Structure 1
């Protein structure tokens, strides 16, 4: 067996400031030496993700998979919205835990069978439970009834546990994890950027996510509903709103934050 040794890689000043850039460049160097293409995807547990700005972006969105399961169970857009409204009321009231089991999820969405709820739970956790804050945020991001500013406001309230109007680094990680439906472990760069003006307030976070080139791209590509006509088949629902009948479509779309 021939073992190939690569020379020591000394990071540049830019790479020292950005560990993600350093990791990407090392990956490309190793791929070149092995004669294989470098991929933008990595595995986090069993989930394939791409990374951008330190954030882990799942290739198969749990929110999109959840919508697919709900539609297959016969739910229309207005029924999903009504269930999400119940979820946000429960999470903000503090009267019950934000964790729900498959039986509770079956009741919340008036599902015809528990197995659909079990499948939804498996998208977010290893057991038959789901953090309703994750489910609400990741699904709401793909629905037309709420814009990103409203969604972030709700998410901020979920994780501002003490009602102090600002988030800690850990709380920010939890918030971003809820938006994408998977844990986020590398939100340090986002936290530093959003708190550079002082505390990490909702206003500061919104400004960074919607004006910083990297994070604006994340919002535009991952956290907004797809436009009508962008490879989606839409049919009218009973309440006159459009229902997405192709929720397994591309994760990417062209709708821009305004």
Structure 2
């Protein structure tokens, strides 16, 4: 198929894209991206032409028959269509079939040919360079959603990332903040051989395209579920609205739901100098952070504030009420659950420094050394700015979300002078205006990390079982929750 069917299909698909470009370009000239304009007759004809061209392209790719179930709502009935599960770039088929708007990166409109086709459907653009982009995107979705059907419908994949279709992950609230009726739409690829799925791990984009075009026939199903109108409570609570729509879609797909999200994928796959083990409990902690609304746009500033306040406590253990006061939050079930994660002695107390370390990892998962620097600032002794081996173990154990961790070999590798203490950075009193208390023999962790960028692989992972293992540990500990078998099955 690689030397016969694949090149023919690839040529036809590319030709159809080029054929669609002039129609999309002419129809986009002079049209406002912000104001509603009536769809005149000739633009309606362009819609029909583009849909036909796109259908021929999909047909050439092996999607000979597309099964459609249910009735698509009119824009005046439901201005937002929520699609799931999102598993591939082939999910663009419903968009080309309806010419509905989508939410896309602003950079996409600059891509030759493809960018012109994207601009034709008048998407809601998200700019990564604009720090206020998220708010503007939500406001634009609300403006269109409340237009009474004047704007084209918006198709949104609320999962926010591609998954393997085995479950539905947490929905982002953007599609539900406008508090208007939505139409859930489920999509299926019932092929015996899955060449469609494009996720964090697995075949790349071109390999997926190659394998799919080599199949004689590719099946695709789209089902429009009944319109879902939010209750008064759901209008006030977008997260509840999203949760209930997700549950409805999962029932139609006959798949389970999981409370993990796109941010959890980023956390689990982050490529810092220390990677998370497979049995980390930071994912459970991240869920609680989201539910408590702690992760905000100014998380960096919040982290520094937490770090300074935690350092002043000097390891003083806090009660649940003290912890609530530290976070300026009321006592709730979520807060109790988070407190229990750090109550390692089960004496109803916790070291808030451990919370700050875990929060730092969740907020900036790829910035390993920034988290360790913050931890050193909270744990270091006032007289010499150094920490001991036990304190390093506590820092790294919390940063990795594990119960037990051996750091002796790593500590000794840093502490070459065998002083029993290490600092994060070396300080040189002779070069400063004010003499700084600094242990002459204490070694610098930062200098060691710079000289040994793979220090975790060399000195940490080899001494600790479970790193890279596929079987998670169920041992209860001071940070990991003691998951029951049924709860662990949900996590898996």
TM-score normalised by length of structure 1? 0.50
| Matching residue within 420, 423, 442 for 1:201 | 423
Query: Could you say what the CA RMSD is over the residues aligned between the two structures, in angstroms?
Result: 3.7
Identify the residue that residue 156 of structure 1 maps to in structure 2: 376
Distance 1:81 1:109, change over 3 A: farther
Structure possessing the higher radius of gyration over alpha carbons: 2
Residue number in structure 1 paired with 2:340: 122
CA contact (8 A) 2:311 2:379 kept: no
What aligned pairs does 1:59-98 form with structure 2 within 5 A after superposition? 59-78=278-297, 84-94=303-313, 98=316
Equivalent-residue separation in structure 1 for 2:304 and 2:362 (angstroms): 15
Structure 1 residue 86: Cα displacement: 3.9
Looking at structure 1, the residues matched to 383 and 400 of structure 2 have their Cα atoms a distance apart, in angstroms, of 23
Take 1:58 and 1:129, find their aligned partners in 2: how far apart are those partners? 26
Separation in 2 of the partners of 1:165 and 1:76? 29
Gaps of 5+ in 1: 1-54, 220-249, 251-258
Aligned length: 165
Deviations 1:184-240 (A, max 9, x none): 552111011111266533133224345252416899xxxxxxxxxxxxxxxxxxxxx
Counterpart residue number, 1:187: 407
User: Greater RCO between the two (CA within 8 Å, min separation 6)?
Assistant: 1
Q: Distance in 2 between matches of 1:101 and 1:125?
A: 9
Structure 2 equivalent of residue 103 of structure 1: 321
The CA deviation at 1:135 is: 0.9
Distance 2:316 2:288 in 1: 21
Any unmatched runs of 5+ in structure 2? 1-273, 426-443, 461-490
In the TM superposition, what is the alpha-carbon distance from 1:140 to its structure 2 partner? 0.1
In the other structure, the counterpart of 1:131 is 351
Q: 2:454 aligns with which of 213, 219, 225?
A: 213
CA shift, 1:132, in A, is 1.0
Structure 2 SS opposite 1:108: helix
Q: 1:135·1:181 contact (CA, 8 Å) conserved in 2?
A: no
**CA–CA distance in 1 between the matches of 2:343 and 2:278?**
17
Cα-to-partner distance string for 1:139-182 (whole Å, 9 max, x where unaligned): 20221399433322221122222431333323322332342344
Alpha-carbon distance between aligned partners in 2 of 1:109 and 1:115, rounded to the nearest angstrom: 15
CA contact (8 A) 1:156 1:202 kept: yes
SS of structure 1 residue aligned to 2:448: helix
Q: TM-score normalized by structure 2?
A: 0.29
Q: Distance in 2 between matches of 1:188 and 1:115?
A: 37
Give the secondary structure class of the aligned counterpart of 2:350.
strand
